[in-house]
Amino acid sequence: MKLSIIQENLARGLSVVSRAVSTRAALPVLSNVLLRTRDGGLELTATNLEIGITHWVPGKVDEDGSITLPARLFADIVTSLPNMRIDLELLADERVHVTCGRFETHMKGMAADEFPQIPSAGERPTTRVAQKVLRRALAEVAFAAASEEARPILTGVLSRFEGDRLTLAAADNYRIAITTIATLDPVEDTSVVVPARSYHELLRILSDVDDPVEIVLSPSRNQIMFHLESTQLVSRLIDGQFPNYQQVLPKEHATRAVVDREELLRAVRPAALLTRESTKIVKLHVGGAGAAGISVTAVSELGDHQSEVDATAEGDGTTIAFNATYLTDVLQNVDADQFAIELNGPLSPGVFRPADGREYTHVVMPVRTAS
């Protein structure tokens, strides 16, 4: 292997794939990044066996070849070099000679055939989605997945393809987030559960553009691939039956309030800070029809907080308590100017929807309080 590549491009590529490098590798080679010449450039690949990320970097190839190098060390060395041409040459003893201007480094590698094989996106795409549409949907759903491994299925995001629509749903024991977006190609109905961690990494790769990302479901239905122009992410799927979240979605409400999301977030944040070391309880009081707005209150051993937020309310007045973390999560992560908050008393789940009418629903379970 012998090639030349621009430092800035190589550093950017290593930054993209490094998110998939295993930090607690059972196999030493999983701490490495695979370097392989392809199509007149350099293909970088990293995997932790749950996800694999491949990124192609343009370059000038004199001799084809492949090798793996310690990912973190190689990335740190490349980042420290000036933005000039880097020459990489694989020597006979599995060392790589790295030169950049007057800088020269030799790195010991491992044979490429020890690296796990990552599937390619050569199959026909299952469907395509505009990058900015998928990016927003994942940002508004994936955070609601469970982080605990007690119920592995809840650490994933249900991804249900139906015709020209894709529904994403994530839940833990206290909240549910669901959104439906348009796809560019109709497909047969199918459902898979993608690890939320994989979607978080995909979020870092997607751009706020109309260009599509190709989605490929492997024939064995155990992996899913997302293919962009120069980057591919492959993720394993989670086996199991995702809970029927439709059963717990409230069918009606007695109180509805429309409120500016940013204003409500500003009111909730100090209340959340005050209670974060104790109860983490924040109360919302919504007046009935014609009332001026929403009151936000919190009490802890450190003090108390109260603020008022303008809102348009209809129906009965009510007071409901939420875990401050779950309340701030939905207010921070969902891109909406205004929220419609639908309530049915202090003991029923609260429903948050963007007031613009798009297909997004976020349900938060209430907290029982003494008063």
Q: What is the pLDDT of residue 175?
A: 96
Q: Quick one: CATH architecture of 251-364?
A: Roll (3.10)
Report the CATH number of the 2-114 domain.
3.10.150.10
- Closest by CA to 199, choosing from 77, 333, 66, 322, is 333
Q: Kindly state the tokens that stand for 170.
A: 């994530």
Average pLDDT score over residue span 52-78: 96
- Would you mind telling me the total number of residues written for the chain in this entry? 371
Q: What is the pLDDT of residues 340-357, one digit of tens each?
A: 999 999 999 999 999 998
Q: In CATH, which of 1.10.510.10, 3.10.150.10, 3.30.160.270, 3.20.20.100 is domain 127-246?
A: 3.10.150.10
Q: What is the pTM of this model?
A: 0.91
User: Among 19-28, 180-189, 223-232, 272-281, where is mean pLDDT lowest?
Assistant: 19-28
pLDDT at 25 over 80: no
Task: Give the integer Cα–Cα distance in Å for 296 and 228.
Answer: 44
Helix, strand, coil distribution of the chain in percent, nearest 5: 25, 45, 30
Tokens 């066996």 belong to 49
H helix intervals, the chain: 7-17, 71-80, 131-141, 196-205, 261-275, 324-333
Residue 308's DSSP bridge partners are 295
Hey, where are the domains in the chain?
2-114, 127-246, 251-364
pLDDT in tens, 144-175: 999 887 889 999 999 999 999 999 999 998 99
pLDDT digits (tens, 9 = 90+) for 245-262: 988 899 899 999 999 999
